[in-house]
């Protein structure tokens, strides 16, 4: 096997891999910048998750009461479980989509950007209400 044949296949693999990687990265970058988020659909999908999370909190509170804890303690469990559950659900299910429009901790950069954020939040709220 001569030197050209020995390195031809690995070199070809490196070139093809680099081209594929470049295409993948540049496509993702363009897609992320122009990402449109369907707030209505996101809200509709999130509403039953919220309801389930709230039901779980009530079940935890009922369990506390059943095991002899006071109503005050059970209500505290309800509040803590509900808060923890909805924060976790939002972080997992909604925050990544919202971050495509307004990254966490940032502010809108223009009046148009602010309008996109407002529209997203309103459509999300409409979706939570079942969509109107």
Distance between CA 45 and CA 90 in Å, rounded?
11
Residue-by-residue pLDDT tens, the chain, 132 positions: 554 555 444 444 445 444 444 444 433 333 344 458 999 999 999 999 999 999 999 999 999 999 999 999 999 999 999 999 999 999 999 999 999 999 999 999 999 999 999 999 999 999 999 976
* pTM score above 0.75: no
The closest of 102, 105, 107, 104 to 121, measured between CA atoms, is: 102
Burial of 57 (C-beta count, 10 Å sphere; 0-12/13-18/19+): buried
């Amino acid at each position: 096997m001569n030197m050209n044949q020995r390195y031809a296949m690995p070199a070809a693999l490196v070139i093809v891999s680099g081209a594929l990687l470049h295409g993948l990265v540049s496509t993702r970058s363009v897609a992320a910048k122009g990402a449109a988020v369907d707030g209505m659909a996101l809200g509709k999908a999130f509403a039953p998750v919220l309801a389930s999370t709230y039901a779980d909190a009530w079940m935890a509170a009922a369990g506390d009461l059943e095991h002899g804890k006071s109503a005050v303690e059970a209500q505290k469990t309800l509040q803590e479980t509900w808060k923890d559950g909805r924060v976790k659900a939002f972080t997992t299910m909604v925050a990544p989509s919202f971050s495509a429009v307004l990254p966490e901790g940032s502010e809108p950069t223009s009046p148009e950007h602010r309008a996109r954020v407002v529209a997203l939040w309103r459509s999300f709220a409409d979706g939570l209400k079942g969509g109107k």
